A and B are shown apart, each in its own frame.
Chain A
Amino acid sequence: MTSLLKIFDVAASAMTAQSQRLNVVASNLANADSATGPDGKAYKARQVVFSTQSLGSPEIAGVRVTGVIEDPSPMKRLFEPSHPMADPSGYVTMPNVNVVEEMVNMISASRAYQNNVEAMNTAKTLLAKTLTIGQ
């Protein structure tokens, strides 16, 4: 039985995944200058990993966040001898957050979210129309 109702599951899974991505972007941007954290080390940028999630039948594929990984790119090094976190040679290790990349990520996540809202709204309209068959 095919049903338009499954579209809600598909779009909802994508919206959850995209909002999680947006969350990670917000966290990265907020911590772009956090030279130290609870473990005493500089913040490391995080990235979400998306994968396809099967929702029952082969033609229906949702999205799932399989994990949040730490960005492997090298940390930034700033020469700031007066900084309390500076090492003996005067360098401070700063987060490896690339602000430009994060902004692009944010826009992409927001657009993808909007697309899925649109798909969900369309499915809703179609279901409402289906209920009027024969009237």
Chain B
Amino acid sequence: MNKLDELLNFNHQALNLRALRQQVLASNIANADTPGYRARDFDFRSALATATAQPAAGAAPAPAAQPELLYRSVIQPAIDANTVDMDVERAQFAENTVHYEAGITMLTHQIRMMLAAIQG
């Protein structure tokens, strides 16, 4: 992995995971009325740690592993076994949106920094 890739890799992986999480949360919101549906999410910290783990020297980089999807623990279960709590999902969705935007800002600034270094 060259230096430029290495620099951008962290935010690249973070944005990928944020996009995936956005999808998972959108699925939860979409299935708010599906009987038996169980809300899902994943642990962002461990997923990012796995995604950005450095492969051993000389080894080919591991293919991007999908984070393990967990079921959200429920506070107020519904009678139809659906565990989507709309307040929780909306809050997480908004939070994830802000983080995604923050990731984009970071990436943009890193690119600008590199451009400044290249162009002098």
Binding site for B on A (CB under 8 A): 2-4, 6-7, 10-11, 13-14, 18, 21, 50-52, 57-63, 108-109, 112, 115-116, 118-119, 122-123, 125-126, 129-130, 132-135
Contacts and interface: CB of A to CB of B under 8 A. Distances in A.
A4 B22 contact: yes
Given A2-B20, A59-B66, A135 B33 contact: no
| B interface: dominant SS | helix
B104 A14 contact: no
B30 interface: yes
Nearest to B97: A122
Interface residues of B, number: 32
Contacts, number: 99
Contacts of B100: 126, 129
B26 interface: yes
A4 B34 CA distance: 22
A3 B35 CA distance: 27
B111 A52 contact: no
B23 A7 contact: yes
A134 B106 CA distance: 10
A60 B66 CA distance: 12
B101 A126 contact: yes
A67 to B, nearest CB: 13
5 contacts: A10-B26, A11-B26, A51-B35, A63-B30, A122-B22
